[in-house]
Structure 1
């Protein structure tokens, strides 16, 4: 079972200012998406995001962009 999670706080990627995603360039706004996960998977993503001091959304963005390798290549 995953460890209890610390209180959530917002994290922003470096270079981000105001609205939008300046770290990825102009007109690269994130859109709302739905991903269904088990409670264990969600807690695991939360732990990984907290370790990196980024949001869950930013963690998924970096995985999707290949900036965080999954190690199963």
Structure 2
């Protein structure tokens, strides 16, 4: 499992396979507790900000929506 507290340098070193494994865990949603799922979701979100090209096939897992806050 990839640690949540990855630095920018660590995220830069992640491979396509690392992201596929992370996304696979999120898709299966077979966690021991909800906090493990939340940790993976936050990690995928952090990767999206720094390496968007890696998460493009899995962007649906982030369920990002644009909200009009005004």
TM-score with structure 2 length normalisation? 0.28
Larger Rg belongs to:
1
